[in-house]
Chains A and B, each alone.
Chain A
């Protein structure tokens, strides 16, 4: 494996008294699409929040392009070139679509232009003057992904982008993720739906009780099917 763009080592994380990450370790190479699979409450979202510096307390090491991020505030982590699309999507209800799209500041050169974004998600162009609160779930998800493409971040953290969406929209988002991969983005994806994950990812980490318990290359997924089903409890 080439040198990791993102290296998470022995990360522990807490919400107040509650210890939720227990030695989380994994790596993502530049240009890879890697998923975190695992049951509800396994600590996938908390891992993303730990990477972004949004967890109240975290220890261990998170290195991005060789630079240590533990101890940096989340605005500095974003400026290092990581962008986050949260599970709850985080569309600002009082801002319109265009304002939401233009909100995240450009942190590195080479981000998508607005036309490239509209080419990927044509619906957003038509909805550009709607308020964030008026969007459907699918439109919100597209907007949440779209707005982090402008920033020039090389590593995208996407937390359950297909959750609760209709199959046709899930397909569209899968298409978008494959396009982003071809464009050279590195993507860390949280998924509960491993059938979807298998269509977009290179490798999968299985998360349980706040740590990684297994790693599965996408090509090996069929042989792991039963084991994975027992991991995910499906």
Chain B
């Protein structure tokens, strides 16, 4: 069968795995954006920088404090998420009564500042980070490196747990209700401003987690977030802003689509997501899973 379509199974499954890994990052990052946008109506342009901070935080924890990868996986999202809490309290919370554009400009500017600081401190050549799960297994049709499998599993688990938290728990019902009527939710006894702050911290923590997961795969550079986030915003536009399951499915789906394109039509692999975005915008401007507003 593989002879028929002219590709070897190794190449096909290899690219599918790569696509799945990219999809894991797209999903985690677009999920964080969706959580933040859904709750705060803020398009968090700092997201890429916060992903980068997650990777750097893992590197710093290892090199300055001797904390290994497994510790960083938990600590880095907490540390970077806390900086998100500070940013929300200090800056973003002052903009809620203004036009969306101000939040966008603020978070965009913050991203530039943060990336500039890391560039001046660590340069642009990239820092190495060891693979905590070397080796892999031969599945017969392909070779599966353990660490890549781990990334996909963690991302899926965290995405589904986040979906469950928001769609199926009482805390999630507070969040969903507060997107409709924050004043009323507060008048029922819930501290909505604090909930919003923590939601931002959580979304930022998701970006940082993606950064830690990326550290052993890609060289850690100040611009890794800026490059990735462009694609992630396209993913968000395709999925539709604010839909939790939508951003998860679209993230993984587009990663796989990218992988398949690399096999069958490699010339288009860098642009396929943007082509899909253009088509979706023409046919369904609110995105595949979005509701028109």
Contact = CB atoms under 8 A, between A and B. Distances in A.
Nearest to B192: A75
Interface string A74-92: 1101110001101000101
B180 A74 contact: no
Interface residues of A, number: 25
Q: Counting chain A CB atoms within 10 Å of each CB, which of B173, B177, B186, B188 scores highest?
A: B188
Interface in B126-178: 170, 173-174, 176-177
Chain A interface helix/strand/loop/mixed: loop
A54 B183 CA distance: 7
Interface string A42-80: 000000000011100000000000000000011101110
A104 interface: yes
Q: Counting chain B CB atoms within 10 Å of each CB, which of A78, A83, A84 scores highest?
A: A78
A127 to B, nearest CB: 17
Contact of B176 (A73, A75, A77, A94): A94
B187 A84 contact: yes
B189 A95 contact: no
B181 A75 contact: no
A103 B173 contact: yes
Interface string B179-223: 111011111111110000000000000000000000000000000
A90 B184 contact: yes
A94 B180 contact: yes
Interface of B: 170, 173-174, 176-177, 179-181, 183-192
Contacts of A54: 183, 187
A79 B190 CA distance: 9
A184 interface: no
Interface of A: 52-54, 73-75, 77-79, 83-84, 86, 90, 92-95, 99, 102-105, 107, 148, 151
15 contacts: A74-B186, A75-B189, A75-B190, A75-B192, A78-B186, A90-B181, A92-B176, A92-B181, A94-B176, A95-B177, A103-B188, A104-B189, A105-B188, A105-B189, A105-B190
A75 B194 CA distance: 11
B246 to A, nearest CB: 14
Nearest to A105: B189
Contacts of B177: 92, 94-95, 103
A141 to B, nearest CB: 15
Contacts of B181: 90, 92
Contacts, number: 57
A86 B185 CA distance: 12
Given A75-B192, A90-B181, A95 B173 contact: yes
Contacts of A52: 187
A185 to B, nearest CB: 17
Nearest to A84: B187
A5 to B, nearest CB: 19
Given A102-B170, A103-B174, A93 B190 contact: no
Contacts of A77: 187
A95 B180 CA distance: 10
Contacts of A104: 188-189
Nearest to A93: B180
Contacts of A92: 176-177, 180-181
Given A95-B173, A102-B170, A103-B174, A53 B190 contact: no
A121 B45 CA distance: 47
Q: Which 5 A-B pairs have the closest CB atoms?
A: A78-B189, A104-B188, A74-B187, A92-B177, A90-B184
Contact of B173 (A78, A99, A107, A151): A99
B283 to A, nearest CB: 25
Contacts of B185: 103
A54 B185 CA distance: 11
Given A54-B183, A90-B181, A92-B181, A78 B188 contact: yes
Given A78-B189, A102-B170, A86 B176 contact: no
Nearest to A107: B189
B184 A86 contact: yes
A107 B192 CA distance: 16
A104 B179 CA distance: 15
A221 B123 CA distance: 82
A102 B189 contact: no
Contacts of A73: 186, 191
B286 to A, nearest CB: 15
Contacts of A86: 184
